[in-house]
Amino acid sequence: EAQVTQNPRYLITVTGKKLTVTCSQNMNHEYMSWYRQDPGLGLRQIYYSMNVEVTDKGDVPEGYKVSRKEKRNFPLILESPSPNQTSLYFCASSFSGTSGRAHTQYFGPGTRLTVL
């Protein structure tokens, strides 16, 4: 089954304790992205990756890091989480526009993070 998976689904942590949220897709997509969803603000892009070893900042990158060592995985790293990073996080993937294929992003189920 074609899907985007995220782990963990729920996480409660404390300020300053480094954490990683994993994202994996099995559709051979070039493009992957992380969003955060906050009430009344919709989804905002944190980081994205056009392909392996190619990453760039989105609209709200402060406090986050990413890496893309393999095509299928795109982990989100919070080196020193703070309470303002409490949010619902979504990973998404799609084929790249340069491939000329359909522009549909597929979303993971979300990770609800609480930073105390």
Partner 1 sequence: AQSVTQLDSQVPVFEEAPVELRCNYSSSVSVYLFWYVQYPNQGLQLLLKYLSGSTLVKGINGFEAEFNKSQTSFHLRKPSVHISDTAEYFCAVSEATQGGSEKLVFGKGTKLTVNP
Per CB under 8 A, the list member of 24, 25, 85, 94 interacting with partner 1 is 94
How many CA atoms are closer than 13 Å to the CA of 66, on its beta-carbon side?
30
Give Cα separations from 72 to 40, 77, 89 (angstroms). 31, 16, 18
- Distance, in Å, from the CA atom of 107 to the CA atom of 110, rounded to the nearest integer, reads 8
We find the least distance from the C-beta atom of residue 63 to partner 1, in angstroms, to be 20
Query: Does 110 help bind partner 1 (rule: CB under 8 A)?
Result: yes
Query: Does 96 help bind partner 1 (rule: CB under 8 A)?
Result: yes
Interface residue list for partner 1 (CB under 8 A) = 4, 31, 33, 35, 40-45, 48, 50, 58, 90, 92, 94, 96-98, 102-110
